[in-house]
Amino acid sequence: MQTNKTGFLSSIRAFVRDPFRMFGMVSVILLLLLTIAPAKDYFSQWRGYQRQYLRFIGSRGDAVTLRRHFTGGIQQIWIPKLDVVDRCQSCHVGLAEASLADVKEQPFRAHPPIPHKLTEFGCTMCHRGQGAATTVEEAHHSEMAGEEPILPARYIESSCGQCHHEPLEGAPKLNRGRVALARYGCVHCHTIALPEGSTMQATDNPPPLSHIADKTTREWIYAWLKDPASYSATATMPNFQLSDADAGDISAFLIANSTPQPGDTIAPPAASGDAASGSDAGASLYGESFCASCHATQNEAGNLVGGDLGPELTNVGGKVKPGWLMAWMRDPQKYDPQTPMPQYRWTDPQLKLIVSYVEGKTDPDFLANVHLQPATKAQIAHGKKLVIEYGCASCHVIAGVPKPDNFAPELSRIGSKPVVQLVFLPGMKHTLPAYLEQKIRQPRSFGPSLHMPRYNFNAGQIEDLTTALLSLTDRSFSLPASLQVPAVRETSYQPAGQAGQLMASLNCQSCHRINGHGGTMAPDLSWEGSSVQRAWLDNFLKNPNTLRPTLIRRMPRFNLTDAERTTLTDYILTVYQTPAFDRDAMPLAGYPPQLIEQGRQLFYSKYDCQSCHMVNPNVDKGYIGPMLTHVGARLNAAWIFHYLKDPQALRPGTIEPNQHMSDDDARALTAFLMAQKSGAGQGANQ
Amino acid sequence: MPSPIATALDRLERTRVWRSIFRSGKGRSTLHNALVIQQSVFLHLFSVKVRKRMLSLGATWYLGTLTLATFLLLVVTGVLLMLYYHPSVPQAYTDVKDLQFVVSSGLFLRNLHRWSAHAMVFLAFAHMFRVFYRGAYRPPREFNWVVGVVLLLITLLLSYTGYLLPWDQLAYWAITVGTNISSAVPLVGDKIRFLLLGGHFVNANALLRFYVLHCVILPLSAVLFLAVHFWRIRKDGGLYVRESEPGAAEAAQTSTTEEREKP
């Protein structure tokens, strides 16, 4: 052994001492090492995929075409002005091959159809990841040095939102998420600045709390704070996960801080002798007034019925005091000047009916277990501290507590937050979407001292919100302005003068949009004055009815006086006119019978209008568009003429097809439609 | 019988062109060999005569030579990298990515540069430790030790300036921290920082300055000091041998280490 070892060592020594042999040996080793570099290049991942692709298409029927389209080597989409260098197609070889749409396994699947060309924006603009990379690991998963890992496909709509700030057809998740950000009041606390310079505005209308003692009791506030969802499943108020003591203290402060507002409370109606008939009459008044257009209630089956513009009323009787409700129903703007609720002009007996009906909607169990001791000074002081700490004034107006600025972190660029800057919980996936989802689902799981409340979102809503948040990227700010598609910005239009005051008290714009401001529940009235005739409008305001056979009427009757109706009609007819044409340019009647007959034939044969509209209800079966039985008494002739010529110009987004009618055809049809004045189908069944 | 190659070489060496370049002429005498060294611009930096024992691995571990080798490797790979790299903010990082993903053997080139840089710092330190513990810094070599210290500083600065050039997060923050440290120098600290960065923040100017430092100023100073360093080895009496020191002869008699080394 010993001799062997020394023999080996001495032979090594001899070898080292011979410089020529040593030099030769080292050179061979160096040469071998040097071959590693070209070998690594030759056996690179993308070359492997390209070889695999050629084998794969060889077995297909369209092999010849596919092979002709194939170019070897590194492929890239290069868009200098967008800072895009995407080499994804080096491995995803068949991305642009429509015939590979049936392929299931990546990386050879064809790209699904999208509204943009693949070369228009490249890949990473939407999918994220590192475009310059040519290995899967680097391209899909790298997050060093600010690179973004690939975006899971279920959030892909967020990428559309980087340029498209308007509601976008084909991106429902993104649209729902954005609506939710505004509707659940996220943007009260978190500022979201948009690239065009505005900020996202909340649409949830949180009530002011400065006079809350007039409206409800401390017990109700306590129970509501503990769990808003137990009062109303549709509550937009989140759960702050308060302890019993904290909820008691906040309710004590809010009641003690409340000052009575003169006129907030009217003597409640005395208990009616005949409760049953009173309740029936109240129910029918509730129905006639179309309260359900905005307010939902739960029916016996547990389903919500009604709109979501106002709060759910299922248990409202347990919440509001009858005296307050009375005053509210008479004039809601007295208590809350910002309310979207219109002022119904109910008579006193009607007021009593509706109040006692609404007060009857109550859940006796809700407050059954709430027993609060009278509030002490210390409790009230602690309640105020909590109100400031939890940022209640970010949403609600509370006397003596100013609205905090930037209460929560700004989210304008949250979609580009580097993963290295996030703190993850144990066991969580280390990605930005996973972080956002957990933050929305269980905000306090990141630390018990955090103030963000918990919402009752389902998995779908959380995905929607995450999609909307992921669209708020650095890139959306740095992209050229020419690529930005801004949202239609809400104007601050308010009608002026006496009619303006009237429309403000009726809150017309809660449902109707006028000159870019208002709701979308009812038709846009910006050009209503060009469209309708005075007599019809006056009559409609007196007794509204639906124009479409398949829609439920939602316009309430407001008990307007004759003078008020005249003011409104005058204003609408004078002010809301389109500059496109003169509404009196064509006569309302007196068209020659041949022209009417010609129009009738065009209506029934050439343009097939009866597929959607009805002129004679006995014959026609069109249930989609408005009824035209009285259209000659409703619309102006010039409006009909121009509407037929180009419907979308007068009512953007209408489904009425643009038939590119000649003037003659449009004139004949106008004559025929203007003849429909009494609903008997004049000229229709000749 | 001389081989045909030897005959051809012999004929070549007798041509006029050859003799005009290599003026030492033919010969194998000691003087002749000394002339070969002395009359070449590249070789005259080195000692004309070297003890044969000093060329063995054990004498120096070749640490200085290896440091020089990594430096030469860095110059070659660095020049090749300069063909692909733009020292501008929008392009620097993507150029590095291109080297990594698209340029043939670009990753090899970049890694060779990077590992050589690490090796050079390590070898320079090792070289200095060896010189220090063998006492080779003592007179008359004290000036060459100082030159060596300057060369170490240049090596470190080359390493530091090269760190910014990939223009990634690591680079950015490393340079931010580093220049903040330099601003801690009393009185002129902020001026030094401003001078290095060409401004108050790590930005396009800083990138350009570091690029020029890394590719022009520092390598040229390194070459200058290397020339002095090698020339001084010769002037200070060649590679350090303990026996050549005054009083070392007696020490050698008591020491058995050297004896055991000899066959």
Per-residue pLDDT, A29:
92
Rounded to an integer, what distance in angstroms lies between the CA atom of residue A110 and that of residue A93?
9
Q: What per-residue confidence (pLDDT) applies to A191? A: 94
Mean pLDDT of A301-306: 82
What is the pLDDT at residue A389? 92
Lookup: tokens for A66: 């596919």
Chain A touched by B42 (CB under 8 Å) = no
Strands A304-306 and A513-514: unpaired
Dihedral-angle region of residue B187 (phi above 0 means left; psi in -120 to 50 means alpha; beta otherwise): left
**Which chain A residue lies closest to B103 (C-alpha atoms)?**
A41
Give the nearest chain B residue to A16 (CA atoms).
B57
CB of A167 within 8 A of CB of A138?
no
- Residue B174 C-alpha, separation from nearest chain A C-alpha, in angstroms: 13
Tell me which amino acid residue A601 is: Q
- Please, is A111 exposed, middle or buried when counting C-beta atoms within 10 Å of its C-beta (0-12, 13-18, 19+)? middle
Q: Say if CB B157 and CB B178 are below 8 A apart.
A: no
Where exactly are the structural domains of chain B?
A: 1-36, 59-237
Cβ neighbors of A241 (< 8 A, separation 6 or more) are A444, A453, A454
Structure tokens belonging to residue A676: 């429909």
Look at residue B256 in the predicted model and tell me its pLDDT.
Answer: 43
Q: If DSSP codes are grouped into helix, strand and coil, which group holds residue B34? A: helix
Mean pLDDT over each residue of chain A, to the nearest integer: 87
Whether the CB of B58 is below 8 Å from some CB of chain A: the reply is: no
Once rounded to an integer, what is the mean pLDDT over residues A396-412?
90
Burial of A99 (0-12, 13-18, 19+ CB in 10 A): middle
Report d(CA A174, CA A177) in Å as an integer: 5
User: Tell me: the pLDDT tens digits for A112-164?
Assistant: 889 999 899 999 999 999 898 999 998 998 876 667 889 999 999 999 999 99
Can you read off the two tokens belonging to residue A146? Answer: 């600010």
First to last CA, chain A: 125
Return the structure tokens found at A463: 């995905």
User: In this predicted model, what pLDDT tens digit does every residue of B103-123 receive, in sequence order?
Assistant: 988 999 999 999 999 999 999
Q: Which residue of B has its CA nearest to A44?
A: B101
Please give the Cα distance from B227 to B231 (Å, whole number).
6
pLDDT for the residue B259: 43
- In angstroms, rounded to a whole number, what is the distance separating the alpha carbons of residues A630 and A375? 64
Residues A618, A681: contact at Cβ < 8 Å? Answer: yes
Query: pLDDT of A183-227, one tens digit each?
Result: 999 999 999 999 888 889 888 888 899 999 989 999 999 999 999
A41 at interface of B, judged by CB pairs closer than 8 A? yes
B57-81 pLDDT, tens digit each: 778 888 999 999 999 999 999 999 9
Distance of alpha carbon A439 from alpha carbon A684, whole angstroms: 63
Contacts of A74 in chain B (CB under 8 A): 102
Cα dihedral value A167, A169, A174, A180, nearest 10: 50
Interface mutation target, options B95, B100, B101, chain A, most CBs of A under 10 Å: B101
CA of A134, closest CA in chain B: separation in Å? 6
- List of chain B residues whose C-beta atoms are within 8 Å of the C-beta of residue A132: 94, 97-98, 101-102
Residue A432 near residue A419 (C-beta atoms within 8 A):
yes
Q: Does A515 touch chain B (CB under 8 A)?
A: no
**Residue of chain A whose Cα is closest to the Cα of B56:** A17
In angstroms, the CA B45 to CA B39 distance is 10
Spatial contact of A443 and A408, defined as CB atoms under 8 Å apart = no
Find the radius of gyration of the CA atoms of chain B. 24
Q: Count A/B contacts: CB-CB distance under 8 Å.
A: 37
pLDDT tens figures, A319-372: 888 889 988 988 888 888 888 899 888 888 888 888 888 888 888 778 878 888
At residue A580, does pLDDT exceed 90?
no
Please state the rounded mean pLDDT for residues A51-71.
89
Burial of A237 (0-12, 13-18, 19+ CB in 10 A): buried
Local confidence band at B227 (pLDDT 50, 70, 90 cut-offs): very high
Amino acid at A142: S
Indicate the SS3 state at residue B231.
helix
Average pLDDT in the A488-503 region? 86
CATH number of B59-237: 1.20.810.10
Contacts of A135 in chain B (CB under 8 A): 101
Interchain pair A87, B102: CB under 8 A: yes
Question: Which residues, numbered 132 to 161 in chain A, qualify as contacts with chain B under a Cβ-Cβ cut-off of 8 Å?
Answer: 132-135, 138, 144-146
Phi, psi at A228, each rounded to 5° = -55, -35
| Count of positions (residues) in chain B | 263
Contact criterion met (CB < 8 Å) for B97 and A133? yes
Q: What is the mean pLDDT of residues A36-49?
A: 89
Nearest CA in chain B to A143: B169
Tally of CA atoms within 13 A in the half-sphere of A177 that contains its CB:
28
Our CA-based measurement puts residue A159 at a distance from the nearest CA of chain B, in whole angstroms, of: 23
Three-state DSSP at B189 gives helix
- Is it the case that residue A236 has pLDDT exceeding 70? yes
Chain A CB contacts of B106 below 8 Å: none
Which residues in chain B have Cβ-Cβ distances shorter than 8 Å to A138?
Answer: 101
Contact B102/A134, CB-based, under 8 Å? yes
Nearest to B94 among A41, A85, A144 (CB): A85
User: Would you place residue A271 in the very low, low, confident or very high pLDDT band (cuts 50, 70, 90)?
Assistant: low
Q: Is A63 an 8 Å CB contact of chain B?
A: no
For A30-42, b/e burial (b = at least 16 CB within 10 A) is eeeeeeebeeeee
| Cβ contact, residue pair A132, B107, below 8 Å | no
Contact present, A406 and A263 (Cβ < 8 Å) = no
Tokens for A664? 């003659």
Query: For residue B244, what pLDDT is reported?
Result: 57
Smallest Cα distance from B106 to chain A, Å: 9
User: In this structure, what are the phi and psi dihedrals at residue A242, rounded to the nearest 5 degrees?
Assistant: -80, 150
Q: Which residue blocks in A398-496 are alpha helix, DSSP H?
A: 432-441, 459-470, 474-478
From chain B, the residues in CB contact with A41 under 8 A are: 104-105
Q: Do residues A396 and A388 touch, judged by C-beta distance below 8 A?
A: no
Judge whether B197 and A174 are in contact, CB under 8 Å. no
Q: Which amino acid is at A393?
A: A
What average pLDDT score do residues A612-632 get? 84
- B168 contacts A36? CB cut-off 8 A: no
Closest C-alpha to A362, from A311, A307, A297, A306: A297
Q: Choose from B77, B96, B97, B169 for mutation: most chain A CBs within 10 A.
A: B97
Could you tell me the maximum CA-CA distance found in chain A, to the nearest angstrom?
131
Measure in Å the smallest separation between the Cα of A120 and chain B Cα atoms: 20
pLDDT tens per residue, range A164-190: 998 888 899 999 999 999 999 999 999
Q: Write out chain A residues lying below 8 Å of B94, CB-based.
A: 85, 132
Bridge-partner residues for A517, per DSSP?
A: A514
Is the pLDDT at B258 greater than 50? The verdict is no
Query: What is the structure's pLDDT at A345?
Result: 87
Cβ separation of B169 and A144 shorter than 8 Å? Answer: yes
CA distance A419 to chain B (A): 13
Q: With 90 as the cut, is the pLDDT of residue A554 above it?
A: no
pLDDT by residue (tens digit) across B115-160?
Answer: 999 999 999 999 999 999 988 898 889 999 999 999 999 999 999 9
